[in-house]
Amino acid sequence: MQTSFWKAGHAPTLFAAFLYFDLSFMVWYVLGPLAVQIATDLELSTQQRALMVATPILSGAVLRFLMGLLADRWSPKAAGILGQVVVICALSGAWQLGIQTLEHALLLGVLLGMAGASFAVALPLASQWYPPQHQGKAMGIAGAGNSGTVLTALFAPGIAAAFGWQNVFGFALIPLLATLLVFALFARNAPGCPAPKSLADYLKALGDRDSWWFMFFYSVTFGGFLGLASTLPGYFNDQYGLDPVKAGYYTAACVFAGSLMRPMGGALADRIGGIRSLLVMYTVASICIAAVGFHLSSAVAALSLFVAAMLSLGAGNGAVFQLVPQRFRQTIGVMTGLIGMAGGIGGFCLTAGLGAIKQSTGDYQIGLWLFASLGVLAWFGLHAVKARWRTTWGCAAVTAARV
């Protein structure tokens, strides 16, 4: 099975898509692990800190729609190169000119959203090379690029402590420039790509109720993964008094768990079915997040529950995108953009919401319980549509998805 997978598509493009996604996520997330240090220097409140961290998430969600259109009309490769150039210019400006106010940080966050929009390029670029039976693995491997957040959580706080947090932006340019070269040389657009989609195609897709279900499901899995990844450095600092470097290590453990499970979640969904996988993952994630809300006295205990939750959310990301090509094979580009946008909006709402709740109540408890409730709602929603999907997707899709 593994040999047939590697022969079925184009491995250099899959690798280039993964690397591009990985480094893009690394810089998209960079304000999260630096949040405590930036907030201290700029004298930001908890809510302002959360807004700063959440801004690139929202910008990335909106720009994914634009990048999806560009990938359709130009090509995924051309859109990817454009996105990388914009991000490199934004980081260069932040490094050379500096960030002195909240407004400066928010502007950088808006421009870094282009890195988050890489989702709308990397996944179609990889997916278009592979047949339906390998979609879960291909999308999982390309989507595992969200592991770039691990690199940022591990190294950014330490580099900031040694050289100053503004110089982190300069250090990030080194791997970004190397990635741009690799992507330009090795990525290839798949032959026979779907015809470009118009704005009307997106509006038509939004008229399909399944589109909204998929957007909701992904807003919980990916939105939860990204929202927690962005919030946890501040959470561990606020809740347990960990210094930024140690909080970064704790966050890196959580993010690594979620990133590792994305390709595994896709492969598991190929084997047992995306819906079965998601039902289990929503259950585990909701229980763990709800448990963290009970004022745990130990940072290690909280870390363990967050790791378990991120494992489930990461696997859920892979499972959702194992199902997407089965349901939307002819509109995969449109749906990748819409679903990815919904995931980003979910991450923004979770990050900003947790910050606002912490600012107003002095605690993260209510925010964590609200998010756990969304996981429960997603479980019931998925269970409710399961029977209808079995009868409307067609025999081939049902067999592939094992609904």
Tell me what pLDDT residue 135 has: 66
∠ CA 333-335-336 to the nearest 5 degrees?
Answer: 65
Tell me what pLDDT residue 373 has: 97
Tell me what pLDDT residue 239 has: 94
Full pLDDT tens readout for the chain, 403 residues:
444 666 777 889 999 999 999 999 999 999 999 999 999 999 999 999 999 999 999 999 889 888 888 887 888 899 999 999 999 999 999 999 999 999 999 999 999 999 988 878 887 888 788 876 776 677 777 777 777 888 999 999 999 999 999 999 999 999 999 999 999 999 999 887 667 777 777 788 788 888 999 999 999 999 999 999 999 999 999 999 999 999 999 999 999 998 888 778 877 887 888 888 999 999 999 999 999 999 888 999 999 999 999 999 999 988 998 888 777 776 776 787 788 889 999 999 999 999 999 999 999 999 999 999 999 999 999 988 887 776 665 444 444 444 4
Tell me what pLDDT residue 379 has: 95
What does 142-180 look like in DSSP terms, one character per residue?
A: HHGGGGHHHHHHHHHHHHHHHH-TTHHHHHHHHHHHHHH
HSE, side-chain direction, 13 A CA sphere, residue 5: 16
Residue 98 region by backbone torsions, left for phi larger than 0, else alpha for psi between -120 and 50, else beta: left
Fold adopted by 12-187+198-401: Growth Hormone; Chain: A; (1.20.1250)
Tell me what pLDDT residue 333 has: 67
Tell me what pLDDT residue 393 has: 57
Model-level pTM?
0.85
Q: Is the dihedral of CA 85, 87, 90, 94 positive or negative?
A: negative
Tell me what pLDDT residue 402 has: 44
Tell me what pLDDT residue 96 has: 96
Q: What is the DSSP letter of 396?
A: H
Structural domain boundaries of the chain? 12-187+198-401
Contact 44, 102 (CB under 8 A): yes
Spatial distance between the Cα atoms of 34 and 16, rounded to a whole number of angstroms = 28
Would you state the structure tokens that stand for residue 332, as one six-digit string?
Answer: 């995969």
Task: Report helix, strand and coil shares of the chain as percent, to nearest 5.
Answer: 85, 0, 15
Spatial distance between the Cα atoms of 214 and 324, rounded to a whole number of angstroms = 8
